[in-house]
Amino acid sequence: MSRIGKQPIDIPSGIKVEIKGTNVKVKGSKGALERDIRPEIEIKQEGDQLVLSPKGTSKRVMAFWGMTRSLINNMVVGVDKGFQKKLVVEGVGYRANISKSVLTLSVGYSNPVSFQLPDGISADVDKNNVITLDGIDKELLGLTAARIRQVRKPEPYKGKGIRYIDEHIVRKVGKAGAAA
């Protein structure tokens, strides 16, 4: 029995959910999201809640039950409140600039790196080189943040690079510390 899957999803006021077979559409004040769910999972709307139930008892179906519930819940939260990720650009001379939907990163390479933001993701860069990504699709937001971080991963000696704001980089001792 999935502990996550059996929990109902509360639908806030102003959110509309349409279920057609295995297709789920969620519309809210921030936008609309659509997803096809696995045929092993049955979804019903009961009042202001969505209830998911499995069609079978295999381990695979139970895993899909919990995952599907989380995905649909993220859709509901996304169109209602939205999601946000923050990245920090650390290093001497490292900068980030945003122009329309192109993020330009100067992170120690000979040329600046231009990163095209996908549709549905907006970014803002403040004076402390903190990149704030906003979007309604949690999966796309996380993927975009990971791709931006991939441009220059934080290194363990000085901590230079692009990291999540809540990420802790384990520092290593350099050559001078190893000799002593």
Instruction: Name residues whose C-beta falls within 8 Å of residue 151's C-beta, 6 or more positions apart in sequence.
Output: 105, 107, 113, 115, 162
Count structural domains, the chain: 2
pLDDT the model gives residue 173: 87
d(CA 135, CA 119): 9
Please give the order of strands across the beta sheet that includes 9-10. 9-10, 49-54, 41-46
Domain span holding position 43: 9-80
Statement to judge: residues 75 and 93 lie in one domain: no
Statement to judge: residues 74 and 95 lie in one domain: no
pTM: 0.88
DSSP annotation of 81 reads T
pLDDT the model gives residue 178: 53
Statement to judge: residues 52 and 106 lie in one domain: no
In this structure, the strands spanning 121-125 and 130-135 are: antiparallel
| DSSP β-bridge partners for residue 132 | 86, 124
CA distance to 2, 17, 115, 124, per residue, from 71 (Å) = 14, 14, 27, 26
Domain-located, residue 180: no
Domain-located, residue 63: yes
CATH of the domain at 18: 3.90.930.12
pLDDT the model gives residue 2: 73
Low-confidence ranges of the chain (pLDDT < 70): 1, 177-180
Q: Which residue pairs from 53-61 have beta carbons closer than 8 angstroms and sit at least 24 positions apart in sequence?
A: 54/2, 54/5
Domain-located, residue 171: no
